């Protein structure tokens, strides 16, 4: 499945009439957060593909367009936070936000709070396991796991609980943003147990396959 994944930065080539030429035929759009609603809505309107997102730590609770219109979410896209859905044969789930580093009321979590989110998501992943034979294919997150692509300043540390998540539920991919890339030699893809952890900033076009399909192809 060919997927456009975006995060953290409005990329001019995508926010233009050339977006279809640039990305080609994609089957789905995923957003890893910290993007204005208008950007996600533009991708929805131009690409006309199923679109899912999680919020980042800099998301406004209400985004205003024009004098009167206020939005709490982008139109035409679905919030994945604390949910799991099947789209095009892929099992998706989402976890929003970053590690808590100040007193902002939303979209920041302590590691214990994120672990609690994971335990609340677990029954749906168990349903996936019973019905489809696997827990999950893709975790869409804003933040990285601790020690993988993260940084040492408090605001950009990853979640220890994501390491536990990957060991328990074995997603094929964990896609994240939050960490901006300024050097070409920065590592943006790392294997951890059975999961490929990928920093998608500012966008990536990925070929994603369900875990079961990968196993079958390897035989």
pLDDT digits (tens, 9 = 90+) for 44-84: 999 999 999 999 998 765 555 555 566 678 999 999 999 99
What's the pTM?
0.92
203: nearest Cα among 39, 45, 79: 39
Query: Which residues are registered as beta bridge partners of 99?
Result: 109
The highest-level CATH class for domain 2-217 is: alpha beta
Which token pair is 22? 């640039």
Cis peptide before 37 (omega within 30 of 0): no
Give pLDDT, residue 60.
61
pLDDT tens-place string over residues 100-130: 999 887 899 999 999 999 999 999 999 999 9
- For 155-177, letters b (16+ CB in 10 Å) and e give ebbbbbbbbebbeebbbbbbbbb
């Amino acid at each position: 499945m060919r997927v456009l994944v975006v995060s953290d930065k409005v990329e001019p080539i995508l926010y233009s009439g050339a977006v279809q030429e640039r990305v080609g035929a994609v089957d789905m759009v995923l957003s890893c957060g910290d993007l204005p609603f208008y950007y996600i809505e533009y991708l929805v309107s131009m690409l006309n593909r199923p679109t899912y997102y999680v919020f980042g730590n800099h998301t406004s609770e209400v985004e205003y367009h024009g004098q009167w219109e206020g939005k709490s979410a982008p139109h035409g896209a679905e919030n994945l936070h604390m949910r799991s859905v099947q789209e095009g044969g892929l099992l998706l789930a989402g976890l929003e936000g970053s590690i808590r580093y100040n007193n902002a009321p939303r979209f920041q979590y302590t590691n214990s709070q994120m672990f609690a989110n994971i335990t609340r998501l677990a029954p749906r992943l168990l349903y996936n396991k019973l019905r489809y034979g696997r827990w999950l294919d893709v975790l869409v997150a804003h933040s990285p796991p601790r020690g993988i692509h993260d940084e040492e300043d408090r605001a950009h540390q990853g979640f220890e609980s994501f390491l536990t998540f990957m060991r328990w539920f074995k997603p094929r991919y964990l896609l994240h943003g939050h960490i901006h890339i300024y050097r070409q030699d920065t590592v943006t893809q790392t294997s951890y147990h059975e999961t490929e952890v990928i920093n998608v900033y500012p966008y990536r076009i990925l070929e994603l396959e369900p875990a079961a399909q990968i196993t079958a192809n390897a035989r």
